[in-house]
Every structure is written in structure tokens, then in C-alpha cells.
């Protein structure tokens, strides 16, 4: 599939990828290291671009036009326990159950190191930090999501597996990354009812704003489950749904005693001026109302994109209620070649899943971007795969 | 000294202070919780305001005017090992000895938790995080800096103390916080020659850009000592010298094996878009040249400020080569009353040192701000203390 020149660039990309561990090199890094590559669309990037525009409108009006940006960058941000008060307003939960973090990744590290250093069950395929950031003494047990069931979690089989292994902790990402499978609230409740003996049930709901259980895309909150089950730890990145990965905003919800332990010897000033600013406006109804509009608009476009993708020959699109879809290349194309071809021929950066443990086959993860970008992605894929739609 | 109304506000301030642990509540928090207080000058705040202006010039030109700010906030920052490459250029040391952190405080926590969990010697008075953020099993031994010697470190006595207690780690802040005493490079080398058996000699050089050993204020770097002594860990906040506390930029320099351990299970994406941007421009000669000008200007003004302060009756000003001075109230005024009076009568926020262990007396820490603000502070102090200069 690749020309000699393309293969050389593929080699350089592989070197960058190796240096990035089990994550994609950033587009800044690629631009710096391989100047031949011009990325027009970053479809690795799991982020609602309309929400970014909304945030930028606030920044322009409230910080730049009003000359308040300097204050945000010059002075110390508030401490963790102060910023959690803003979040308390938007999340309808007590402030002392909220741990504000420098991106969700900091909360993941904090939880794995402080509360989950014994036996832990991780479902695969998954977000790699969940097994990479464990402590040296942690025993990781993998639960294989079955390919024959589109990598969906089967509640009964999962509960049996957990009961058999008796772990200290389990992790469920919902919707799951990289396949986007969504476990409805009632199913999650059913799991929790059966896992009372597990010390920590860590639920990563970083993609929950893209999920829906009805046609109105009514917001779903797992905070209800935290209130019902004492062993739940909720984790949330704001990077994806709010499109603000660069400001590093995340949080975790857990029992007050755990928060106390974390704040007792660290994490005091882990927010920055702009993440504090974000959490402050997220506490306002004005922002949340505007956000709801761009959230629903993006879900509708994303689901339409996935439907259109599914019509392209050579691709299997796994059902997703996240803002990305797992694509299986079922026409003999290797995913690493596909990624390079998309990059060099169309300027579209996609995520190979070669390095994801628990996937068997040639997989790529594709993010939903703006409507216009999704359209370019669709046309490029049709072009690449011969333009023939599946007979349906 | 205080009126009834002032005493009521003092109570509220005390409540905020208690909620902030052993740190000052931020001016944002104060503004929100006690609207009666109007802070004109934040003299708690240890930061070069001219450097902030320099950074804001870059932000305006390179990010706002050129419409690149969105990229910085929308996309993921680079990973730790990429950003340390920028720093490597400015610091003249290998990239793989640099740990980039979300403010120096994150590096402090990481080092205390990962490498210094046994016996540690902390000199007091000091920055409280050095004893608050230790692990539960850590044994902290305090070395009292002697008041009779202006809380200066006496090399011989210190070396004897360390040799007697045989700690795993020691911490030296240089210049020290809160008194500003500076230990010259040669004295530090002498200490290090004698402490080869200590596993970690942690040197916090967050205020080193304000220190000087000659009349030209030539930059001092302790990196030379890291290259000479394998057990040195250097810690550096960028908040103070570059006036950018809100972006949370810091780093630590340590042996590669230690960095590898830290990055193996965390700290992957701990920078944000703006801290990455800062580290990127800090890597350029253009920025560093401009920074040198504002650094030297600020030192000259700061030292002049300290000299003028020393002439005010009722105050003892401890010798400082940092950007703050420790003031002892020697006229019977209580430091908590002084702080409230300065706040309510003059709009100047100063740092009581009541909560600093290792200080014996009534102490306040006062930051050097702009020349104009320093002048207002001086006049306010003269007004408060009767306007009479010391006979000299």
C-alpha cells in the first residue's frame, strides 16, 4: 500500500511513537520532527471542537477584552479545596467528595498509587494508563472483552470473573476507550449491586457527555451511583467534552476520607489559572446552558458520522456512544499502513490501535471532528477504499 | 492596635487562613469571601512583576495577535520528556536529568514520596510543604537555624548535625524562605563535600535568580553542583522569578534513574499548554536576553527597597538575597494585628509568619513588588510606625 517515500516517513513516525510510549505523539511533536507531514485534520484527537469555540468566546470576552488574562497567569490559582467548591455547584455533590486534578491522568495516578496498589482488574482493550501507572507491587488481572460480542462488556460474565478473582479494585471506562461501548446506568447499577465486596470500583466517565439513553440526549450522570454505593470512585477528564486538553482539567469523586488522605500530603496547587477559570465558569448556569447546545449538536453529528462510516466498504465500525469509533480494517490493509496513507495522502491523522492489548486484528480509532472535517474524512476513506459503498 | 470592626475582619481572615493550611489564602479567595477588603498591593506574593510583563508581551504578540491561543488551549500539551528538551537548551544539562513539573510543588511531592520516605532533615524556619508533604512513615528531624545568627545556616554546625543524625535526605532552600539568607556556591560545595553519605541532598533554588555574588548580578547556577555530586536533587519553581504562578511551571534535576522511575508510572501529561509555551520560549536566546534585563532591574530595586525598609523604626529587616524580606516587629506590635492593619488601612497584603515553626517573635514576610508599589509600602510603614526613621 505504501510507496518507498511513504515507508521512510512511516519509519520516522514509528520512532516518534516509540518515544511517546503507548500514546500518540502530539501534532506539535510531529510537526517539529517530521516537517514533510502536514496535518489538516487530527482525528486522533478526542475532543468536541464546538465546545472549544464556546470556551474561547468566554476567554476572549472575559479575559482578553477585559484585560484580566494577566491576573490569571500571574497569580497563584486557588487551592484544591477551593476549586472543588465551584465544581460542587455544577455536579450537585458535596465539595469534600471532589478531588480536582491536573487532567484526569493525575487523578488516575493518585488513585492507583494511593488506594489501588493491590490486585486490580482491568478490562482490555482499554486506556493504557490504567495498567501502566500501577505501582510496582500491583497485580494486574486482565478481563478480555470478547471480540465476538464487539468488545462489549457482558455483565454476568464480568461479575463472575470479578467474584472469582476477588480483586481490591476494578476499573470500568464508560463509554469504553477505544471501542466506545456504553453500559447504561441500570446495567452499571446491576454490576455495583454485585460488587459490594470490591474495595474500589473505579468508573472512568470521561466520555459520558457523548453518551445518551434517549433521543433527546438528556445528560447522564453517574454521580447517582456514587451516592448509592460507597465503593465507587468516579473519574472525569474535561479535555474531551469541553475541548480543552491544553488547560489540563479533570476531577475525581470519592469518599471524603480518601480526599483527605490525598490532600494531606500533596495536590495543593495542582490547578492552573486557566483550569480554575474554566471550573469557575462551569459553575455558572449561563455557561452550562450554552454548553448543552454544543454538546447535543456534536452528538447528533457524531452519530451521523458513524452511520456514514459504516457504509464504507472494507471497514467494520464498532457501535460507539463516545466521540470516536473503533474501525476494523477487514480488507487486508494493515492499520499502520492505513495511518501513514491517511496522513500523507489526505493530511488526516488517525490512531493506530496496534499497541492496544486485547484487540485482535487491524484496528484504527477515529475521532469525530467538526461536520466539515468529518465530511472530508468520509470522502478520503471512500477515495482510499475505492469509493464503493457497501450494499445494504 | 485594631478597632472593633478591624478585629471582626481579622476573625474572618483567620478562618480563611485556617482553611488554607499553612499558606496564605489567595487574593481571589479573600475578594470572594470578605468583600470589605480591597487589596491594592499583594506583598505576600513572591514574584517579579517585570518578568510577568515580559511574558505577557510574548503572549499578546505570539498567541493572541496571531490567533494561536486556541491551539494552546485545545490540544494536548507534549509529554514530560518532550518538554524537558526545551529546558535542556536553557539549562545546559541533558534532557534525561530534567523532570518537568506542574509547579515546583509537584516535584516536591514526587521527590518526598518516591525517594525520601525515610529520615529527613528539614531546616526551620522553612517552606512548610517540606514537612507537610512527607509520607506517613517519614521521620522529620528539624534543624533549628539560630535566631542569634539571623537564621543563617552555619556550615560547620549543620554538617555536624547531619553526620550525627545520618538521615536519608536533607533539604536546603537557597536563598531560604522565609528569611532570604543566601548560601554562596562555594559554601554549598563545602557542605556537599561533607555529605557524600546522604542519599538525597535536595536543594530548592526557586529564588536563585534573585541572588547574586557580585555587583553585576551575574546569574548563579547550582547545576554545576549537580554535575559534581551524584546525590544532589535540584528543585526550581518558575513562579517567582518569571512571575507566572498561574501557569504552574517548575522542574527538578536529578539522576536519570530517578527520572525514569517517576515517568514510568505517572507524570506523563503534567504540563499544560501555557507552561509548555513558556518552556519553549525560555529555550530561546531572544527571551532569555530580555529576561536578564528585567531580572537585574528587579534585583537592584529589591535591594534598594530592603535598604529603605531597614531605616524604619520598629522593624528589624533580616538580610535577604531573595525577593522578600523577613521583618521582625520589635516595637511590641503583634504580627497578626500588623497584617490586618496594613490590609485595611493601606490595602497592602502581607504574610504573617505566626504559623512558621522555627521563628521566635513577631514576624512578617514582605515581598518586593514594582518600584512604585515598594514606595507605597515604605510610606505606609512609615505612616503606621510614626514616620520616624531610625538614627543611623
* Mean pLDDT of all residues belonging to chain B: 94
- Write the DSSP string, A283-342: TSHHHHHHHHHHHHHHHHHHHHHHHHHTTBTTEEEPP-SSSEEEEEE-SS--HHHHHHHH
Based on the number of CB atoms within 10 Å of its own CB, is B101 exposed (0-12), middle (13-18) or buried (19 or more)?
A: buried
The beta strand positions in chain B, using DSSP E, are 41-42, 98-101, 119-124, 139-144, 169-173, 200-204, 232-237, 250-253, 315-317, 324-329, 348-349, 351-352, 363-367
Torsion of CA B162, B167, B168, B169, to 10 degrees: -50
Instruction: Tell me what pLDDT residue A389 has.
Output: 56
Cβ-defined contact of B73 to A82 (cutoff 8 Å) = no
Question: Which residues touch B370 (CB under 8 Å, ≥6 apart)?
Answer: B49, B50, B301
| CATH 3.90.1150.10 domain extents, chain A | 4-52+289-391
Instruction: Tell me what pLDDT residue B389 has.
Output: 56
Instruction: Select from A59, A134, A239 the Cβ nearest to the Cβ of B265.
Output: A134
Distance from CA of B62 to the nearest CA of A (A): 14
How far is it, in rounded angstroms, from Cα A242 to Cα B281? 27
Instruction: Tell me what pLDDT residue A390 has.
Output: 57
- Predicted confidence (pLDDT) at residue B104 exceeds the cutoff of 50: yes
- Among A21-30, A166-175, B238-247, B273-282, which is the least confidently predicted range? A21-30
- Predicted confidence (pLDDT) at residue B29 exceeds the cutoff of 80: no
B390 falls in which pLDDT band (50, 70, 90)?
low
Q: Give the side-chain half-sphere CA count within 13 A for B321.
A: 19
**Fold observed for domain A76-284:** 3.40.640
Instruction: Tell me what pLDDT residue A176 has.
Output: 96
- Among A9-18, A82-91, B146-155, B278-287, which is the least confidently predicted range? A9-18
Sheet with strand A169-173: strands edge to edge? A98-101, A250-253, A232-237, A200-204, A169-173, A119-124, A139-144
Instruction: Tell me what pLDDT residue B392 has.
Output: 45
Identify the CA nearest to B93 among candidates B206, B211, B253.
B253
Sheet with strand B351-352: strands edge to edge? B315-317, B324-329, B363-367, B351-352
Instruction: Tell me what pLDDT residue A196 has.
Output: 97
Q: Are B9 and B340 in contact (CB under 8 A)?
A: yes
Mean pLDDT score, B5-30? 81
Mean pLDDT score, B258-268? 92
Identify the CA nearest to B368 among candidates B327, B328, B323.
B323
Based on the number of CB atoms within 10 Å of its own CB, is A296 exposed (0-12), middle (13-18) or buried (19 or more)?
A: middle
Instruction: Select from B64, B244, B265 the Cβ nearest to the Cβ of A74.
Output: B244
Phi, psi of B144 (to 5 degrees): -80, 115
B298-347 tens-digit pLDDT: 999 999 999 999 999 999 999 999 999 999 999 899 999 999 999 999 99
Share of chain B above pLDDT 70, in %: 98
| CATH 3.40.640.10 domain extents, chain A | 76-284
Sign, CA torsion B60/B66/B67/B72:
negative
B175-225 tens-digit pLDDT: 999 999 999 999 999 999 999 999 999 999 999 999 999 999 999 989 999
Distance from CA of A370 to the nearest CA of B (A): 14
Cβ-defined contact of A246 to B274 (cutoff 8 Å) = yes
- Among A26-30, A112-116, B7-11, B269-273, which is the least confidently predicted range? A26-30
Instruction: Tell me what pLDDT residue A128 has.
Output: 87
- Predicted confidence (pLDDT) at residue B72 exceeds the cutoff of 80: yes
- Write the DSSP string, B302-323: HHHHHHHHTTBTTEEEPP-SSS
**Residue numbers in A near B78 (CB within 8 A):** 26, 28-29
Cβ-defined contact of B56 to A64 (cutoff 8 Å) = no
Question: Which residues touch B319 (CB under 8 Å, ≥6 apart)?
Answer: B150, B180, B181
CATH class, domain B4-52+289-391, is alpha beta
Report residues of chain A scoring pLDDT below 50.
391-392
B78-100 tens-digit pLDDT: 999 999 999 998 999 999 999 99
β-pairing verdict for B315-317 and B324-329: antiparallel
Amino acid at each position: 500500500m505504501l510507496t518507498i517515500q511513504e515507508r521512510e516517513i512511516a519509519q520516522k513516525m514509528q520512532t516518534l511513537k516509540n518515544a511517546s510510549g503507548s500514546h500518540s505523539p502530539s501534532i506539535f511533536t510531529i510537526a517539529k520532527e517530521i516537517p514533510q507531514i502536514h496535518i489538516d485534520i487530527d482525528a486522533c484527537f478526542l475532543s468536541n471542537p464546538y465546545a472549544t469555540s464556546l470556551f474561547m468566546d468566554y476567554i476572549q470576552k472575559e479575559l482578553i477584552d477585559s484585560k484580566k488574562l494577566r491576573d490569571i497567569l500571574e497569580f497563584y490559582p486557588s487551592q484544591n479545596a477551593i476549586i472543588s467548591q465551584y465544581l460542587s455547584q455544577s455536579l450537585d455533590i458535596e465539595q469534600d467528595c471532589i478531588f480536582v486534578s491536573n487532567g484526569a491522568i493525575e487523578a488516575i495516578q493518585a488513585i492507583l498509587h494511593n488506594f489501588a496498589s493491590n490486585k486490580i482488574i482491568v478490562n482490555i482493550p482499554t486506556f493504557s494508563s490504567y495498567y501502566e501507572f500501577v505501582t510496582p507491587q500491583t497485580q494486574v488481572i486482565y478481563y478480555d472483552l470478547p471480540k465476538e460480542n464487539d468488545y462489549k462488556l457482558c455483565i454476568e460474565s464480568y461479575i463472575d470473573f470479578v467474584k472469582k478473582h476477588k480483586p481490591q479494585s476494578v476499573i470500568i471506562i464508560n463509554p469504553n476507550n477505544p471501542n466506545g461501548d456504553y453500559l447504561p446506568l441500570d446495567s452499571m447499577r446491576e454490576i455495583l449491586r454485585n460488587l459490594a465486596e470490591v474495595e474500589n470500583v473505579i468508573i472512568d466517565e470521561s466520555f459520558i457527555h457523548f453518551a445518551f439513553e434517549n433521543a433527546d440526549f438528556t445528560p447522564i450522570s453517574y454521580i447517582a451511583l456514587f451516592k448509592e454505593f460507597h465503593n465507587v470512585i468516579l473519574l472525569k477528564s474535561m479535555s474531551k467534552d469541553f475541548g480543552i486538553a491544553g488547560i489540563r482539567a479533570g476531577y475525581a469523586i470519592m469518599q471524603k476520607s480518601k480526599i483527605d488522605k490525598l490532600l494531606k500530603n500533596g495536590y495543593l496547587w495542582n490547578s492552573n489559572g486557566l483550569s480554575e477559570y474554566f471550573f469557575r465558569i462551569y459553575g455558572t448556569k449561563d455557561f452550562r446552558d450554552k454548553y448543552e447546545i454544543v454538546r447535543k449538536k456534536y452528538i447528533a453529528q457524531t452519530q451521523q458520522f458513524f452511520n456514514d462510516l459504516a457504509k464504507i466498504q472494507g471497514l467494520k465500525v464498532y457501535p460507539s456512544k463516545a466521540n470516536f469509533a473503533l474501525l476494523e480494517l477487514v480488507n487486508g490493509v494493515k492499520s499502520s499502513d492505513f495511518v501513514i496513507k491517511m496522513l500523507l495522502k489526505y493530511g488526516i491523522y488517525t490512531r493506530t490501535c496496534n499497541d492496544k492489548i486485547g484487540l485482535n486484528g487491524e484496528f484504527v480509532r477515529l475521532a469525530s471532528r467538526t461536520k466539515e472535517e468529518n465530511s472530508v474524512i468520509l470522502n478520503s476513506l471512500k477515495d482510499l477504499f475505492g469509493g464503493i459503498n457497501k450494499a445494504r
